[in-house]
Amino acid sequence: MAIGLIIIGDEILSGKRVDQHFPKVVQLLAARGLQLGWAEYLGDDPARITATLKRSFASGDIVFSCGGIGATPDDHTRQAAAAALDKPLRLHPQGKELIQQRITQVAQEAGQVADLNSAENLHRLKMAEFAEGAALIPNPYNNIPGFALGMHYFVPGFPVMAWPMIEWVLDTHYADLFNREPRAEHAVLVYEAAESALTPLMVAIEASFPRVKVFSLPSVGDARTRRHIELGVKGEPGQAAQAFRQMCAELDRLEAEYRPL
């Protein structure tokens, strides 16, 4: 089981807005000893969103989806989630109540009395139309909820709402997964080396230490740093420490120039 992230919105793909969800979700997961397994960006295309969700529902992964759960014509996530599961949309009773409470509160703050039966306010209730069987995700910002279907969690695209809602899901439903597998990471900068020359070393390390992954991040350098490769190991702490010692010993044998990070 992996943790996935789906980010929805034409404004992201067009560059009108810069996505902030990906780095934040990585941070929220890392703080709990978890990591992201995959991520996808989608535009406001109902068919593509439906197809993606159908695939992700079948995966058995924990999935967070950000964006498209409003009630404007370019919001399709609620309908796509229902279509992906072949379930009807239903007005969620508690969701309806929460939206009406919010409408009433906003009107009171403006010194007005809310007309809950106005066309505008009836349309707002569509934000509580979810696939049959959905559960609610509380929204501490404005009390208008997101929704959950199985291990899929749908939140708004606004970071101020989405991030605390994702934290609530993690802390409420997945605390038993936190820090379950200790991890360690060790790396060096190897200067003026070719990745191809280091590949046999990387292959040998992973073959010797099955609970460790080797990574290499090449850089062409800049005005302050020479060309280098960030070479490292990550994984189970004991094996990672052994693998790192072996890696450094082999770099010494190769007479490579490097320094620990």
DSSP assignment of 97-164 equals HHHHHHHHHHHHHTT----TTSHHHHHHGGGGEEETT-EEE--TTTS--EEEETTEEEE-S-HHHHHH
The 10 Å Cβ neighbour count of residue 37 is 15
What's the mean per-residue pLDDT of the chain?
Answer: 96
**What residues are paired with 146 via a beta bridge?**
137
Whether 221 shows a pLDDT value over 90: the answer reads no
Whether 96 shows a pLDDT value over 90: the answer reads yes
Total residue count of the chain as it appears in this document: 261
**pLDDT digits over 128-187, tens only?**
999 999 999 999 999 999 999 999 999 999 999 999 999 999 999 999 999 988 889 999
Domains 3-177 and 184-260 share a fold: no
Architecture of domain 184-260: 2-Layer Sandwich (3.30)
Q: Give the span between the Cα atoms of 242 and 142, in whole angstroms.
A: 50
Terminal Cα distance for the chain, rounded: 32
Residue 23: band (very low, low, confident or very high) from pLDDT cuts 50, 70, 90:
very high
Q: Say yes or no: domain 3-177 is CATH 3.40.980.10.
A: yes
Q: Give the span between the Cα atoms of 197 and 186, in whole angstroms.
A: 20
- How large a percentage of the chain has pLDDT more than 90? 96
Tokens 């919001």 appear where? 75
pTM of the model: 0.88
**What residues are paired with 6 via a beta bridge?**
40, 65
**pLDDT digits over 32-70, tens only?**
999 999 999 999 999 999 999 999 999 999 999 999 999
List Cα–Cα distances, 37 to 62, 131, 186, 187, 258, in angstroms: 10, 26, 21, 21, 30
Residue 90: band (very low, low, confident or very high) from pLDDT cuts 50, 70, 90:
very high
Residue 181's pLDDT is what? 82
Judge contact between 46 and 81, C-beta under 8 A: no
Domain extents for the chain? 3-177, 184-260
Token output for 197: 């020359």
Residues 6+ apart with CB under 8 A from 27: none
